[in-house]
A and B are shown apart, each in its own frame.
Chain A
Amino acid sequence: MEPEQYFYLGLVLVLSGAVLSLIPFRKVRPYLYILPALGSLSLAFAGLNVLSGHVLLISSIQVSSFFDFSFRGDPLSGFFMVVISALAFAVSVYSIGYSGEMKNQGFMGFLFNVFLLSMYAVVLADNIFTFLVSWETMSVVSYFLVTFDRNEKSARAGLTYAVMTHIGTAFIIALFLVLYKQTGIMDFQGMRTAAAQIPDILRHVVFIFSVIGFGVKAGIIPMHTWLPKAHPAAPSNISALMSGVMIKTGIYGFLRISMDIMGSGPAWWGIIIIIIGAVSSILGVLYALMEQDLKRLLAYCSVENIGVIFLGIGASMMFKSHGLDALSSIALAAALYHTLNHAVFKGLLFMGAGSVMHAAHTKNMEEMGGLLKLMPYTGLFFLIGSVSICALPPFNGFVSEWLTYQALLLGFQSPSVIAKIISPLGGAALALTGALAAACFVKAFGISFLGMPRSNRAEQAKEVSFSMISGMAVLSLLCLAFGILPGIVTAHISPAVHALTGAPGVLSKNGVLFVMETVTTLSPGLLLALMLIMFGATVLFIYIAGGRRKTMYGPSWDCGMPALTSRMQYSAAAFTKPLKIIFKRIYLPRRELKISYIVKPLFVKSIRYSGVITPFFEKYFYTTAGNVLYRIAGRVKLLQSGSLHLYLAYILITLIVLLIFGT
């Protein structure tokens, strides 16, 4: 079959999924998610074909003489199509089971499918008009998905999301207006050749607008505030999609505008992006560490991973400006690889969190615990996701973060001194991020799945349904596959990398990755084999050295206290307390201790501890901006007196002024 046919087949399947969801058949409704699952498989084939060099030509739809919907698939869109499809397939399968108990299933199914379609449309759009329409469709549909559970909390989250995303869109529209004004061309193909003649100052403007506009969607700090609100509010299958792929459309848009159409700029563009990436990754993971809400934790963690991706992109832009195409391509390959990886493992983790919520009916980690015994499969897959996101071999996160390190550390080859300083600093930021992320997921997994149940609800958790497990299993397998067979991934990424940087990126041969042929190599397959051998050897050693042992079961060592209870366990807040103390300049924590006594000061009746950290950007940046806005609005409101006569007087005055000065 031709790639176009795969594309149209996928389109029809997803569309029919959207339409059929609206038909009221209670019983079959969850199974309708098979349609988007098949559709995304088909679209994945189309995307893979596009990646291998086939240009996807989709006949455009004329709206008026000026506007038309035109779509075109080049390697970069092909790559993002594959990323979207991979996650969409798994989430669709997961949704069969997950949506079973939902209210308003039909509406959910409809929105789900339209959301998928709009994301495909964004990455395939080939002119300004199409891009903006798809982009806004995506934003609006995701707003409805965020506010899907009709309650006050999700309404507030939705409002924050809507405001932030529209600020972003305003910047995107502005940058497109600048581009259109300067080139006079609507479609991206023509704009690419015409963009070279744009004066420098306007190129900088376009770049800055694209950082802000797409940065809001991607969730870089300080535009990240909507992520930790919107992602937990949405149903979990949707948060998996939003966090896994929707924020990646921000990355796509940024790459499309700043690297593809504008063709990279001066070195300081790259340096800015590296700094943004470093700040986002460190602060993202620091805030993630302090969260007790599993989904908020994951949302902050998305901020961190977007930071890692931006580190790669920034390095790529910086090397490109220095003429180091090969290095630039490696950095971009690392960024794209991490984009794919983050989609896979963040989707997996959100689905895992969704399963936990489904079973234990709580998002608060302090109420979980001991879930591994009750939900072994969910626990296993969540563990795989956690290990991947911590960048440990043999899973996928390791490969992409390793590549990002390599790219940043190779900055020594750059001729400029600033680059020599900035890129290792980026590497150092990444190292800190990696360590903190590991701590974060030890907490996330350890507190939720290990130990004893901390609440009644956690005790009564049951393993989730087969389809939910299989959705997670698919992504777990992908985590493993992308981790031990990176050659396949880099081979598929390289056309996209080549299109943007002029060099093929990371090479691989026989399962071994080469960074610049000579500098360094990585063979994840061998690494896995080595790990297995080491593990086997250790087990063997213990077996031989320790001799035969019989396992004995007895009561836990309880320090003289009879009967351990779950309240004696490490709590999530306690686990990260040391880090809270170390980073207190960033967290600005406030704590409150309430002690009530029976007889002061010896007999304590109860102690209540509550600690909050100051959300720095919300408090000092957004609140101030909001207040200024309110004050200006208050001034303007004087015009708006509500008196009909005054409004009419405005008209009369305008008319007379026009009559006198208009002629």
Chain B
Amino acid sequence: MKDWIDAFYVIDFLSVGILLTALAMNGLNRLESCVKAYTTNSWLLSLLIVSVAFMIGERHLYLAGIISLATKGVIIPLFLRKIVRQIKVTHEVEPYISNALSLTISGILVAVVYASLKEGIFVTGFSRNVLQISIAVILIGLFIMITRRKAITQVIGLLFMENGLFLAGFSLTLGMPTIIELGVLFDMLMGVIILGIFAVQIRRTFASADLDRMTTLKG
């Protein structure tokens, strides 16, 4: 089966899938579909980890993959769905710029990453694309945070960034010690819960989950 993974470029396919789900965020207008995009992204990420684990036979990577599947692929999406329903803004992502422009800029970001990391400082062996893709996902996540108005899209952007970071760390070191990965995941979970609560609170206080209203907080 190892040859099978190698021959069909499974890892490259999975990482491209991760990039595509991130890019897809630019074109989605409904919050629920954003959550779905994130869920897909997380599943692909976990699958990638598991297949790499299978290839090099590291046992603790299986654990990392399964735990990230459980948190990022199941718990966080469920929680996000709940918040999306609670704050009752099922659609209208309300970006500042049009979808086409935002997609173009994201594309440029990917190109910039590929251009500047062409020489490569890395390559742990299993793919030549994973690091570039992971950094591109980080930047796209940040870009989504910048261009979207709703507090909940900020959270999703942040989660994409975290997935990118996880992938970057993974591609450079073939997985950090389990305890650190566990810690990061737990932080993530807590972060999402807190941000979710904040999003609800912001809506309650400003009668809108629109972050523009928060400029009035400035002294």
Contact = CB atoms under 8 A, between A and B. Distances in A.
Range, interface on chain B: 20 to 34
Interface stretch (B1-9, B54-62, B141-149): B141-149
Contact of B139 (A645, A655, A663): A655
Contacts of A656: 109, 112, 139
Contacts of A660: 112, 116
Range, interface on chain A: 10 to 19
B66 interface: no
Interface stretch (A162-170, A189-197, A646-654): A646-654
B215 A643 contact: yes
A642 B214 CA distance: 7
B193 interface: no
B218 A642 contact: yes
Contacts of A574: none
Contacts of A648: 142, 145-146
A652 B215 contact: no
A416 interface: no
B116 A663 contact: yes
Contact of B146 (A641, A652, A659): A652
Interface in B115-147: 116-117, 119, 121, 135, 139, 142-143, 145-147
Residue picked from B113, B116, B214, most chain A C-beta under 10 Å: B116
B96 A640 contact: no
Nearest to A641: B215
Nearest to B148: A645
A651 B142 contact: yes
A644 interface: yes
B182 to A, nearest CB: 27
Nearest to B147: A645
Residue picked from B112, B121, B215, most chain A C-beta under 10 Å: B215
A556 to B, nearest CB: 63
B211 interface: yes
Interface string B195-207: 0000000000000
Interface of A: 640-645, 648-649, 651-652, 655-656, 659-660, 663
Given A655-B142, A663-B116, A663-B119, 16 more contacts: A640-B218, A641-B218, A642-B218, A643-B212, A643-B215, A644-B211, A645-B211, A651-B142, A652-B142, A652-B146, A656-B109, A659-B113, A659-B117, A659-B135, A663-B117, A663-B121
A-B pairs, 8 with minimum CB distance: A642-B218, A642-B215, A648-B146, A652-B142, A649-B146, A659-B116, A645-B146, A648-B145
21 contacts: A641-B218, A642-B216, A642-B217, A643-B211, A643-B215, A645-B145, A645-B147, A645-B211, A648-B145, A648-B146, A652-B143, A655-B139, A655-B142, A656-B109, A656-B139, A659-B116, A659-B117, A660-B116, A663-B116, A663-B117, A663-B121
